[in-house]
Structure 1
Amino acid sequence: MPRHDSDDEPDPDEEDDFEEEPQMDRSMRHAIIVDNVPAVPKEKTEKLKGVLNKFFGQIGKIIEGGLELPTNPETGASLGYAFIEFESEAVANLAIQKANGYKLDKAHTFQVNSFEDYDKYMAVPDEEQEFEPPPFESRENLLQWLEDGHARDQFVVRYNEETEIWWNDPAKPTQEPLHSRKHWSDSYVSWSPRGTYMATFHRLGIKLWGGPSWKCLLKINHGGVQLIDFSPCENYIVTWSPETDQESALIIHNVKTGEKCRSFQGTTEPGAEMPWPAFLWSFDDQYFARLGDDCIYVYESATCKLIRDKDNKRTGIKRDGVRQFSWSPSDHIVSLWIPEHTNNPAKVVLLELPSREELRQKNLFNVADLRMLWHDQGHFLCVKVDKHSKSKKTLNSCFELFRLRDKGVPIEVTEFTKDTTVHAFAWEPKGLRYAIIKSEASNTARMDVSFYSMGSKYNGRISLIKTLEKKQASGLWWSPVGSIILLANLKGTAGQLEWIDVNQQQTIGEAEHFMCSNIEWDPTGRFVASSVSHWKHQMENGYHMWTSHGRELRHEKKEKFYQLLWRPRPPSLLTEAKEKEINKNLRLYSKRYEEEDAKVKLALDAGLLKERQHQSALFEKELEARRKEYNALRTQRIELRGGVESDAESAYTVIEEEERENIEITEEVIDDGEEIEIGGD
């Protein structure tokens, strides 16, 4: 596909479009109109003003000369209403709330409205006007990339000052980026969780891009923004800036409109590191939550207000000493970790929201550290516990595995031998297995990789599948569709890569990527990229593209390479049962795609052959032209060589010489008396 360089390539001045020109505030939102004020004669107007000043002055500050009591120009009597200006819009709104409906006496009940409401209602025409809807403006299909006929995936790469969007098409030996720009982002880029938007960072805020033309879809003002986080369904985006007042440095925005939903406090101390993500979202964007002091604040996304308790009050979930929490990826359930305190054991608690019902609790002792790891479909929760010995000199690990789909949420415990440390844990996506990397205290350099099965989603039992000993691995990367796992050693510079088919329990591919710092599977599990980022190493920057079985497809070296990120895909619309049916009959479906692949390969081979024939024809044409030119100069060559016909073969004598040399001759008598000659050229 041809390279697409946009005409509206951003320049440094473009960032000014984040902010509008400052405008003088000519509104009267800080003023109110009070009706049903007593109509009094001229001599009593000052007394009435005093009454109104006293009453409304208790609500908020009235600006100097801000109370106006209109009077009849002939008699001086008041007309039964008043205008009052406060120091701010907030005070005016409070006055409307408190004074509207207030009974001054039996005959007078205040009716209070905003001053701007007067203009709004006066602008209503006396006659009804037919509504004319605004002209329809069609938007680009933001999911068009999913309609690709070859089911290809896209990825973004950042290097130097370049940002490029690519199709991953291993069938094509040479490719051009789908879209590219210089200075597209001031720092890094980020995909939204479903791949609809790509976010870029700028001095004045964030921009979201998408669609076939990669136009800017939304601008979000937040000066100095450094961190962002999308909600799982892409309805909201959280931004944080260290340059703004930390009282409101965290802002939640609506992705569809760009409107600010609510701001929150950022860091509590100047220069402190910002915990990220600051909020954790429920799987359906209905709730978001944040850890507080001895409590968890859970908010409704639609209102940005705390959820209600059993007394219908909006409060946080109080748990003394709570240190960590995590959402289930599929249910409105949170897991909490409360460390040990005095004589109280550590606890892991499962809560259902918004009811706050406690589903399960487990007490733990001698806990040094704890991590909660959810299965991606929410079937299981693994609590990885590092326990210290009584002497507190050694650590060993164990797993507390919660089965969320069984009644009562039963827990299975996996214990390891003394002094065993688990370095990594990873659930198999869309599966029932998990993998771990472990070592013994006696030999911390030796890493063993073990695979376990949960047996079943319901009423299963944990079993060890296999242990692979002495592996060079620091991390586990499952394919997004399961079955295949990539073991990678990203510590140091070795960069060993090993692909394992867990179904067959065998290695299906091995490779090395020197200084490898990142591993990224594509969303379909067909390809995986390994890269060396300039942020970690200043040498050997670039990336390798591999198949799911470890065959290298391409190697790109890029100076100052920073990122390679696959574009995520939205969740499948198929049910779990339908996906199982497709996997069962995959060979029937694969025939069609194998035929298409064969046609593509044949077309590529034909195109390559045609190109070679074309190049050969050009060469023969050039050769024939040179021969004619050479023959045309024959007479000049004869004259220059004194009449000698140098083109004829008979004018030359070929002398062949052959030279032989014996390097070494050795004679040796062996046991049976036979003589052999050993020599070499």
Structure 2
Amino acid sequence: MTSTQTTQFSYRSQKELTVWSGYPDYKPIKGFEKPETATRTFQYSKYGHAYAYATNESVKVFDASTLTQRCEIQQANVVDLWFSPQGSYLATWQRPTKLEDGSGSRNLLIWDALNGEQIASFSQKQINNWNFQWTDDEKYCARMVTGEVQFWESKNVGKGVWARLKLEGVAKFSLSPGKAPAVAVFIPERKGAPAIVRMYSIPNFNQALSNKTFYKADSVQMFWNDLGTNLLVLTQTDVDKTGKSYYGETNLYYLAVAGNFDCRVPLDKEGAVHDVTWGPDSKEFVVVYGSMPAKTTLFDHRANAIFSFGVDPRNYVRYNPQGTIVAVAGFGNLNGTIDLWDRKTLKKVNTFHAPNASHCEWSPCGRFLMTATLTPRLRVDNGFKMWHHSGSLIYEENVDELFQVGWRPQPVKEFPSMRSPSPPPKPIKVNATSKTATISPKPAGAYRPPHLRGSTTGTTTLSQREAALSGRGPSIGGQRKGPGSPAGKNNKNNNGSNAGALTKSSVDSMTPEEKQKKLRNLEKKLRQIAEIRDKQSRGQKLDTAQVQKLSTEASVMREIAAVREQL
């Protein structure tokens, strides 16, 4: 149905779920039977072997290359699903319920993705798809519970724990890719002791391979290079005690699995880390950091800065899979500008605009960059665009209420290597208004980099949060509300300067201890609002109380500002 040289992508809207071929066709693949009912999510496996989607009634699993159905899993109301790397196993998560004896339901289920047989079940309250992982070869799998990470041989998962890594206070873990799997674990600060990231070889847990301690880390994001030899750890605090950010402080650390090198990545511009990505060769990485306009820097395999992409309003960076082109972009409250750089010459290829984009992703062939405007971040002008690596728009499709879109991963070896940017093909389908539309882009709903999507904390990039707080950008995680819109008018009437003044008056009478307590409570409210917006962005229906809490966002922000002024 598809040749090895043809790319494939899928998209999900309110009306349909479909699978398309990429360049040069850009059309639905014949033979794929669309579901008759609405779908909740779809996923490809890491290496593109398998594809699955969930409806309210069941989950269907397909061979991704031929789109022939492997099996149908009769499991209703699946909210999230994810594959093992090779596509042999599938995890599904449903909202937890309480059983008659008061215990939690077994709502995290593990399936054989070839025949649809259930092979294990667990209780898990939160949608933490990182909390059940497989090694790249699928030999081992792991799950975190209180105080330990449990391991199984994948073929025997659920039949008794095979090995345990016991660590008091462990809050997160990540299995490395590569041929020699390791596990990295994070333990937050406790009782004055620093936070720790440790790495162990699986299953040799007696002695850590690498150990890094640091303060100012309430939570972390972990980024392995593809070889699994080095790890970048992005730390974040809940509160920035310097008062420079409403949403905490970030730092970036570099750790070698071998244990022979670690350091704090030297970032020479003050402010948040907005995005970070490894090069496909695993020997370099790029970081976007600092107060806006941000700085984008290329680092080598020992965290030495080797090239600056400049200082611009940017918060996103990705290599194409071949490592020949680097896209540096600014989304969310920024204007959708995308710079394309030739990695070999480190010269800028082109700059263009993808206004209102809330999704950005390279094709497996490395020649095309997909951008998309998704709902509910923006409910108008939904659809996707395909840009040639030279910066030319060659295809666009309007899709009403587009929820999700993504490429099928394919091995780089299936596509001829691009040594330098080639001339763009003729546009296949481009609206007449597109060229003028890209000249003066307008900011849209908040953009979430791939590494932050699905986060249970509901966090966005720090620059977006600060922009929202200062009134420069959109509301966090939601659609932009202009002053002329009904929502904008409500915000102005309900949460305007009068509310702020009242807040300042009440703050003046507080003791320092009361102000600190008030600030903690307000920041907690703001995190809860961010979590609700994250649920909303994944298409989950909100109840009345959640909608009401969202409407208080602006007033909470102003109260935070008022309290901080008095500290």
Same structural fold, with TM-score higher than 0.5 when normalized by the shorter chain: yes
Q: CA deviation at 1:398?
A: 4.2
Asked whether the 8 Å contact 1:300–1:306 carries over to 2, the reply is: no
1:452 pairs with 2:293: no
Q: Deviations over 1:432-471 (max 9, x none)?
A: 22111111xxxx33211111122xxxxxx44212223332
Change in Cα spacing, 1:418 to 1:166, as seen in structure 2 (3 Å) is closer
Q: How do 1:467-482 residues align onto structure 2 when only pairs under 5 Å count?
A: 467-482=308-323
Q: Deviations over 1:450-503 (max 9, x none)?
A: 11122xxxxxx4421222333222211221121312122221373222212232
Q: CA deviation at 1:317?
A: 1.6
1:235 pairs with 2:88: yes
1:540 pairs with 2:389: no
Question: Using the alignment, how far apart are the partners of 2:405 and 2:55 within structure 1?
Answer: 20
Q: Deviations over 1:542-590 (max 9, x none)?
A: 11111122111112222222332212225859xxxxx9xx96xx77xx9
Asked whether the 8 Å contact 1:359–1:409 carries over to 2, the reply is: no
For residue 46 of structure 2, what is the aligned residue in structure 1? 193
Asked whether the 8 Å contact 2:150–2:165 carries over to 1, the reply is: yes
For residue 545 of structure 2, what is the aligned residue in structure 1? none
Question: Using the alignment, how far apart are the partners of 2:324 and 2:203 within structure 1?
Answer: 36
AA partner of residue 88 (structure 2): N
Question: Using the alignment, how far apart are the partners of 2:28 and 2:58 within structure 1?
Answer: 30
Q: CA deviation at 1:306?
A: 7.7
Asked whether the 8 Å contact 1:396–1:419 carries over to 2, the reply is: no
For residue 37 of structure 1, what is the aligned residue in structure 2? none
Q: Deviations over 1:170-206 (max 9, x none)?
A: 3x6x856534636365323222333333312222320
For residue 257 of structure 1, what is the aligned residue in structure 2? 115
Question: Using the alignment, how far apart are the partners of 1:176 and 1:223 within structure 2?
Answer: 27
For residue 354 of structure 2, what is the aligned residue in structure 1? 513
Q: How do 1:661-680 residues align onto structure 2 when only pairs under 5 Å count?
A: none
Change in Cα spacing, 1:277 to 1:325, as seen in structure 2 (3 Å) is closer
Question: Using the alignment, how far apart are the partners of 1:338 and 1:465 within structure 2?
Answer: 32
Question: Using the alignment, how far apart are the partners of 1:389 and 1:162 within structure 2?
Answer: 42
For residue 207 of structure 1, what is the aligned residue in structure 2? 60
Question: Using the alignment, how far apart are the partners of 1:466 and 1:500 within structure 2?
Answer: 12
Asked whether the 8 Å contact 2:188–2:218 carries over to 1, the reply is: no
Q: Secondary structure at the match of 1:445?
A: coil
Question: Using the alignment, how far apart are the partners of 2:211 and 2:202 within structure 1?
Answer: 15
Change in Cα spacing, 1:464 to 1:534, as seen in structure 2 (3 Å) is same
1:145 pairs with 2:22: no
Structure of greater Rg: 1
Q: Secondary structure at the match of 1:302?
A: helix
AA partner of residue 59 (structure 2): I
Query: Which stretches in structure 2 are left out of the alignment for 5+ residues?
Result: 429-567
Q: Secondary structure at the match of 2:2?
A: helix
For residue 217 of structure 1, what is the aligned residue in structure 2? 70
Question: Using the alignment, how far apart are the partners of 1:389 and 1:203 within structure 2?
Answer: 39
Question: Using the alignment, how far apart are the partners of 1:175 and 1:374 within structure 2?
Answer: 35
Q: CA deviation at 1:232?
A: 0.6
Asked whether the 8 Å contact 2:135–2:176 carries over to 1, the reply is: yes
Q: How do 1:597-616 residues align onto structure 2 when only pairs under 5 Å count?
A: none
Q: 2:12 aligns with which of 143, 158, 164?
A: 158
For residue 461 of structure 2, what is the aligned residue in structure 1? none
Range moving further from structure 2, 522-531 or 153-162: 153-162
TM-score under structure 2 length normalisation: 0.66
Q: 2:22 aligns with which of 168, 172, 189?
A: 168
Question: Using the alignment, how far apart are the partners of 1:231 and 1:449 within structure 2?
Answer: 33
Bigger RCO (CA 8 Å, 6+ sep) = 2
1:435 pairs with 2:279: no
Equivalent residue pairs, number: 415
Range moving further from structure 2, 379-388 or 244-253: 379-388
Asked whether the 8 Å contact 1:452–1:462 carries over to 2, the reply is: yes
1:561 pairs with 2:402: yes
Question: Using the alignment, how far apart are the partners of 1:234 and 1:240 within structure 2?
Answer: 17
Q: 2:255 aligns with which of 394, 399, 402?
A: 402
Question: Using the alignment, how far apart are the partners of 1:214 and 1:392 within structure 2?
Answer: 54
Q: Secondary structure at the match of 1:412?
A: strand
Q: 1:287 aligns with which of 140, 151, 155?
A: 140
Q: 1:304 aligns with which of 157, 174, 178?
A: 157
Asked whether the 8 Å contact 1:298–1:306 carries over to 2, the reply is: no
Question: Using the alignment, how far apart are the partners of 1:204 and 1:553 within structure 2?
Answer: 38
For residue 359 of structure 1, what is the aligned residue in structure 2? 209
Change in Cα spacing, 1:492 to 1:145, as seen in structure 2 (3 Å) is same
Q: Deviations over 1:51-104 (max 9, x none)?
A: xxxxxxxxxxxxxxxxxxxxxxxxxxxxxxxxxxxxxxxxxxxxxxxxxxxxxx
Question: Using the alignment, how far apart are the partners of 2:196 and 2:106 within structure 1?
Answer: 33
Change in Cα spacing, 1:414 to 1:216, as seen in structure 2 (3 Å) is closer
Question: Using the alignment, how far apart are the partners of 1:391 and 1:483 within structure 2?
Answer: 41
Query: Which stretches in structure 1 are left out of the alignment for 5+ residues?
Result: 1-143, 268-272, 309-313, 455-460, 574-578, 605-681
Asked whether the 8 Å contact 2:295–2:308 carries over to 1, the reply is: yes
For residue 182 of structure 2, what is the aligned residue in structure 1? 333
Asked whether the 8 Å contact 2:364–2:412 carries over to 1, the reply is: no
Asked whether the 8 Å contact 2:198–2:210 carries over to 1, the reply is: yes
For residue 415 of structure 1, what is the aligned residue in structure 2? 266
Asked whether the 8 Å contact 2:318–2:326 carries over to 1, the reply is: yes
TM-score under structure 1 length normalisation: 0.55
Change in Cα spacing, 1:555 to 1:465, as seen in structure 2 (3 Å) is same
AA partner of residue 217 (structure 1): R
Change in Cα spacing, 1:557 to 1:307, as seen in structure 2 (3 Å) is same
For residue 499 of structure 2, what is the aligned residue in structure 1? none
AA partner of residue 334 (structure 1): V
Q: Secondary structure at the match of 1:553?
A: strand
AA partner of residue 140 (structure 2): Y
AA partner of residue 568 (structure 1): P
Asked whether the 8 Å contact 2:176–2:182 carries over to 1, the reply is: yes
Q: How do 1:310-321 residues align onto structure 2 when only pairs under 5 Å count?
A: 316-321=164-169
Change in Cα spacing, 1:451 to 1:418, as seen in structure 2 (3 Å) is closer
For residue 565 of structure 2, what is the aligned residue in structure 1? none
Question: Using the alignment, how far apart are the partners of 2:341 and 2:115 within structure 1?
Answer: 46
Q: Deviations over 1:576-608 (max 9, x none)?
A: xxx9xx96xx77xx9xxx9xx99x99xx9xxxx
Question: Using the alignment, how far apart are the partners of 2:360 and 2:195 within structure 1?
Answer: 35
Q: Secondary structure at the match of 2:90?
A: strand
Change in Cα spacing, 1:421 to 1:492, as seen in structure 2 (3 Å) is closer
Question: Using the alignment, how far apart are the partners of 1:315 and 1:464 within structure 2?
Answer: 40
Change in Cα spacing, 1:214 to 1:390, as seen in structure 2 (3 Å) is closer
Q: Deviations over 1:23-47 (max 9, x none)?
A: xxxxxxxxxxxxxxxxxxxxxxxxx
Question: Using the alignment, how far apart are the partners of 2:238 and 2:383 within structure 1?
Answer: 42
Q: Secondary structure at the match of 2:129?
A: coil
Asked whether the 8 Å contact 1:497–1:513 carries over to 2, the reply is: yes
Q: Deviations over 1:501-539 (max 9, x none)?
A: 232222212221221110121112121110111232111
Change in Cα spacing, 1:493 to 1:537, as seen in structure 2 (3 Å) is farther
Q: 1:345 aligns with which of 194, 198, 222?
A: 194
